[in-house]
Amino acid sequence: MRRAFAALATALGTLSLLLTLTTGPSLATPPNIPSASTAASRLASLTVAAESHQSTYNRDLFPHWITVSGACNTREQVLKRDGSGVVTDSSCASVSGSWYSPYDGATWHAASDVDIDHMVPLAEAWRSGAWAWTTAQRQAYANDLGGPELWAVTDNVNQAKGDQDPTTWKPSLTSFWCTYARAWIQVKWYYGLTLQSGEKSALTTMLGYC
């Protein structure tokens, strides 16, 4: 985890560049998703351990969405980043545009139909080691624009996923399993989180779709 948070200052230092990118062409996916081979190597390096502290989880321990630029908070920034033809009003709310949800292949034309999913859910992160972090570290995690943690997806799909890991929930589009596994592994590796043996097996299977 020291590696992850030593790099946090650098990541935050590049935030202004990431925000600038939102005014240009839409990004197809969040940044810094590793190759399949790199993801496999990082998966092998992760610590396998039982989850803990489930009973003490509270979503409020991960402050979000925070203001990141002007009137724009993290959710609004992801909508601008990952949408197509997004138009916002003076309060940074998206009033038009379209959003493709890679989990289920649906395209939406109202921001209200889109949730911002935490690739590794907040509760899952808590059970995997974030219980020991400071509130500032959990805030940085919950609002991370520098890695593949935040995804614009269909709202009810995100709600169905809840706090599940790949052992019990996977995107309905098997064509996305490779990217999903690579992103999940990157988040756990970057933040020094643990994983369970069943989770590791499920991710290995999903990498087989790459």
| Extents of the domains making up the chain | 36-208
- Count CA atoms within 13 Å of residue 98 on its CB side: 7
What does the pLDDT read at residue 109? 97
Q: Is the pTM of this model over 0.75?
A: yes
Burial class (CB within 10 angstroms; exposed 0-12, middle 13-18, buried 19+) of 139: middle
Predicted local confidence at residue 21, as pLDDT? 32
Nearest Cα neighbor of 112 from 97, 123, 126 is: 97
Give the pair of three-digit tokens for residue 163.
């706090």
pLDDT the model gives residue 29: 81
Query: What is the pLDDT tens value at each position of the chain, 210 positions in all?
Result: 544 444 443 343 333 333 333 333 344 589 999 999 999 999 999 999 999 999 999 999 999 999 999 999 999 999 999 999 999 999 999 999 999 999 999 999 999 999 999 999 999 999 999 999 999 999 999 999 999 999 999 999 999 999 999 999 999 999 999 999 999 999 999 999 999 999 999 999 999 999
Which two three-digit tokens encode residue 144?
A: 């991370």
The pLDDT value recorded for residue 28 is 54
Residue identified by tokens 């970057």 is 190
Q: At a CB cut-off of 8 Å and minimum separation 6, what does 4 contact?
A: 190, 191, 192
